[in-house]
Structure 1
Amino acid sequence: MKLALFDLDHTLLPIDSDHEWGEFLVRIGAVDAATFKRRNDDFYAQYQAGTIDPVEYLEFALGTLAGFPPVKLAEMQAQFMNEVIVPAIRPAALALLKKHQDAGDLVAIVTATNHFVTEPIAKALGVEHLIAAMPERDADGVMTGRLLGTPTQGAGKIVHTKAWLEKMGKTLEDFDTVYFYSDSHNDLPLMSIVSHPIATNPNATLKTHATAQGWALIELFND
């Protein structure tokens, strides 16, 4: 049996859904434009540089979400999907996912982006299993603005992937082949322990590392 793991942003999507969500909130006037955009852009630059504090960022993002009632969040989520995400879904990404699904592989998206933003994206991509940063919710199911557990970033992707498999009574060692597709050097911890790491639309740092290690490199997007 084979396991196929996929990062999301700049891997299956040619955009960063996390950053785009922030841009969307600014565009529709849901947040203070100047203050929010500056912080959102600063965090994105830190992520690209590999210096971001994932908890600090996630609680900034989740704190923003907690400021809206659930009905409004659902409305904005649907608008975001229609205006930003669906137009960004590329046939090449869908074809790659379908290749693994048709082969009978267990397929999952493992992303540092929070579950609220990524759950409908995973559904639109036809992927059942999603490992993402979980927002804490109160007894009424309303987001508190805090992160539940640990971030799903860097080495955290290993922790959460193993925990997800354990719930199914499996381990990474149960699979004769484990693929992990990612664009970013932030994912080197998980890429380094799977049998088939695949640098996908890689950034410069990952491309250099992948080339030195003899890893496969692919480009899904031309934009």
Structure 2
Amino acid sequence: MAIVTVDFDGTLYQGNSFKVMFQVGKKTFGLKQWSIVFTGLVKAIITGLVKGKNAFRLQFFKAFANTFKGKTELELEEFFQQLVNIGKVDVHQGLVRQVREHQQNGDMIILLSGALKPFLTAFAKELQLDVHILSTELLLDQNGVCTGEIGTIINGEEKVKQVQKWVTKELAQSEKGTNEIWAYADSESDIPLLHFVEHPIVVNPDEDMKKIAEENKWPIFAT
């Protein structure tokens, strides 16, 4: 049995999570939510000027997550289903078929991403993929209401840590042995994960990532 990790944005999903969130936001956000987004954008720009592009993305990601404060699990599910309805045309169907082949071989699939977990959950359900999901959590209070806060962002080195933790737990609970770990990913932030696994596969890379893949002799999975 192999463990197969699949990145989301740019890999399984060829669209942009933020773009579709804005599309749905235009229909559903009120003045309060847009005020949160605008304030977060200003803070993100200032942070980005000081600490760089990744810090900008992190700050803005946190601000956008704060727009969900007060929503119930059902309301979150309805919001992210709207994202799926818009974004499903950008699913990498070739990779979906590849994932199904892995499953037929008895492999365990993990959607591994910094994207918000409710989005990935809705997408997996839409695609009828029975997968484990390791991604950024939207935190809920004891009554199941969103606090507007997020858990650890699953990106870069954190992906490696999460996979290691998951594998250790899985092996402790299962009699099945794990022979190898695969990773399907597309961006430079995934490089630590690609170095970590036995079978790194780069999906639809841009020119910079294509050069890195070629230098490391990593296979490229194209559309």
**Smaller-chain TM-score bracket:** 0.7 to 0.9
Partner of 1:209: 212
Partner of 2:179: 176
Change (3 A) 1:199 1:117: same
State how far apart, in whole Å, the 1-side matches of 2:41 and 2:219 are: 35
**2:7 matches 1:4:** no
State how far apart, in whole Å, the 2-side matches of 1:81 and 1:34 are: 25
State how far apart, in whole Å, the 1-side matches of 2:109 and 2:69 are: 30
State how far apart, in whole Å, the 2-side matches of 1:97 and 1:39 are: 36
The CA deviation string for residues 8-59 of structure 1, in whole angstroms up to 9 with x for no partner, is 1111111122x1343223431515669848939x89xx8xxx9313653442
Tell me which protein shows more helix as a share of its residues: 2
Percent same amino acid among aligned pairs?
22
Change (3 A) 1:170 1:202: farther
Q: What's the CA shift for 1:97?
A: 0.9
**2:97 matches 1:95:** yes
**2:156 matches 1:147:** no
Alignment TM-score, normalising by the size of structure 1: 0.81
**2:23 matches 1:24:** yes
Change (3 A) 1:74 1:30: same
**Structure 2, unpaired ranges of 5+:** none
Instruction: Please say which of residues 21-30 and 180-189 is displaced more in the overlay.
Output: 21-30
Name the aligned partner's letter for residue 98 of structure 2.
L
Partner of 2:196: 193
State how far apart, in whole Å, the 2-side matches of 1:88 and 1:34 are: 30
Q: How does 1:3-82 map to 2 (within 5 A)?
A: 3-17=3-17, 19-30=18-29, 36=37, 39=41, 51-53=53-55, 55-66=58-69, 68-82=71-85
Where 2:126 maps in the other structure, the secondary structure is: helix
Q: What's the CA shift for 1:108?
A: 0.9
- Are the equivalent residues in 2 in contact too, given 1:6–1:109 (CA < 8 A)? yes
Count of matched residue positions in the alignment of Structure 1 and Structure 2 = 209
Instruction: Please say which of residues 64-73 and 129-138 is displaced more in the overlay.
Output: 64-73
State how far apart, in whole Å, the 2-side matches of 1:212 and 1:127 are: 34
Q: What's the CA shift for 1:67?
A: 5.0
State how far apart, in whole Å, the 1-side matches of 2:106 and 2:61 are: 34
- Are the equivalent residues in 2 in contact too, given 1:55–1:147 (CA < 8 A)? no
Name the aligned partner's letter for residue 30 of structure 1.
F
Change (3 A) 1:192 1:106: same
Q: What's the CA shift for 1:6?
A: 0.6
**Structure 1, unpaired ranges of 5+:** none
State how far apart, in whole Å, the 1-side matches of 2:72 and 2:178 are: 42
Q: What's the CA shift for 1:106?
A: 1.2
State how far apart, in whole Å, the 2-side matches of 1:105 and 1:127 are: 11
The runs of 4+ residues in structure 1 deviating greater than 6 Å are none
Where 2:196 maps in the other structure, the secondary structure is: coil
Partner of 1:86: 88
Partner of 1:162: 164
